[in-house]
């Protein structure tokens, strides 16, 4: 049975579920604000962890060494029960390891750690992947945190903006039934600001490749409250909300959905991470709440 576990320091109180190692709540005791979307009919999740794929596979299938496998959108980690590997007052580490159920759809031996660590008003989120097998391992990983908007009482969704720490020029990659289209369209043109509106997400997520920014922050007119996400060099970025929902997801990705032209070979998949036998890799981002 899933458990809700808590870590806390002098500023933040964070609750995480053992199911999917998913953040359930980030409460700032200084600002007296809850920052995470508290699930709802529009989208019944909070901040799922994406592994061992990000996004959708073409026909939900891939091939490895001549065998075809099926994986659901965003992989299986978010629906699996994690074990608590380590915990103290201000940090917690979850682990999911390969088992008979995962091996039927993902033929690799792995340990996947999700680590939450508090440092003042900052939450560090680490995804550590260990290849326990003797062959190269192919995977993707990503975050999918949903932030409540409006955050501050008396404000509206359209009062909020996302701000990059440096000017960004990037095309938006369009989606066709969850797959990356062959078409991209100009979106950011040497700009640091994106005004939020619910109309932005009527045609699914905003998907970007190679966004040259170190961080993105949420700002609201007339308030000092918000947050900053340090992206730590993630090669892909998604920005999304369910239709007419009061949240925005800012998603650092080390991987991306299949394109409409994907051939299904996981070794040739765009953005796939490769981990050699008995090696490990860390993929991290941090969020400061104010």
Q: What is the pLDDT at residue 221?
A: 86
**pLDDT tens digit string along 177-191?**
999 999 999 999 999
The residues, any chain, with a CB within 8 Å of residue 176's CB and separated by 6 or more, are: 260
Report yes or no: 192 and 169 within 8 Å, Cβ to Cβ.
no
Assign 102 to helix, strand or coil: helix
Check whether 253 has a pLDDT greater than 90. Answer: yes
Using the Cα atoms of residue 289, residue 28, residue 249 and residue 162 in order, give the sign of their dihedral. Answer: negative
Among 241, 238, 240, smallest CA distance to 252 is for 238
Give dist(CA 165, CA 142) in Å, integer.
21
Q: Region 72-88: what's the mean pLDDT?
A: 98
Note down the domain range covering 198: 4-289
Give dist(CA 104, CA 68) in Å, integer.
11
222 pLDDT band, cuts 50/70/90, is confident
Q: For the chain, state the CA radius of gyration.
A: 19
Q: What is the pLDDT at residue 1?
A: 86
135 pLDDT band, cuts 50/70/90, is very high
Q: Region 20-28: what's the mean pLDDT?
A: 98
* Number of structural domains the chain divides into: 1
Report yes or no: 248 and 157 within 8 Å, Cβ to Cβ.
no
Q: What is the pLDDT at residue 273?
A: 98
Give dist(CA 195, CA 142) in Å, integer.
24
Q: Region 13-35: what's the mean pLDDT?
A: 98
Q: Region 91-102: what's the mean pLDDT?
A: 98
- CATH number, domain with residue 280: 2.70.98.10
């Amino acid at each position: 049975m899933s458990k809700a576990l808590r870590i806390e320091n002098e500023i933040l109180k964070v609750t995480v579920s053992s199911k999917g190692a998913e953040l359930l709540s980030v409460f700032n005791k200084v600002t007296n604000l809850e920052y995470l979307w508290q699930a709802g009919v529009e989208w019944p999740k909070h901040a799922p962890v994406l592994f061992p794929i990000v996004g959708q596979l073409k026909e939900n299938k891939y091939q490895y060494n001549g065998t075809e496998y099926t994986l659901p959108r965003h992989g299986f980690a978010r629906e699996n029960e994690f074990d608590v590997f380590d915990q103290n007052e201000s940090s917690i580490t979850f682990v999911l390891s390969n088992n008979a159920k995962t091996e039927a759809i993902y033929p690799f031996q792995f340990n996947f750690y999700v680590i939450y660590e508090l440092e003042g008003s900052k939450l560090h989120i680490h995804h550590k992947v260990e290849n326990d097998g003797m062959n190269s391992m192919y995977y993707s990983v990503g975050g999918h945190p949903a932030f409540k908007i409006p955050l501050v009482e008396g404000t509206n969704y359209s009062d909020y903006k996302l701000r990059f720490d440096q000017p960004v020029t990037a095309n938006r990659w369009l989606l066709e039934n969850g797959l990356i289209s062959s078409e991209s369209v100009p979106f950011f043109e040497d700009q640091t600001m994106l005004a939020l509106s619910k109309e932005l997400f009527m045609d699914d997520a905003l998907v970007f490749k190679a966004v040259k920014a170190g961080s993105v922050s949420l700002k609201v007119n007339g308030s000092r409250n918000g947050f900053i996400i340090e992206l730590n060099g993630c090669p892909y970025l998604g920005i999304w909300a369910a239709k007419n929902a009061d949240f925005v997801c800012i998603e650092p990705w080390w991987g991306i959905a299949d394109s409409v032209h994907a051939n299904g070979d996981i070794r040739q998949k765009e953005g796939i991470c490769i981990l050699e036998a008995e090696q490990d890799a860390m993929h991290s981002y941090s969020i400061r709440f104010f």
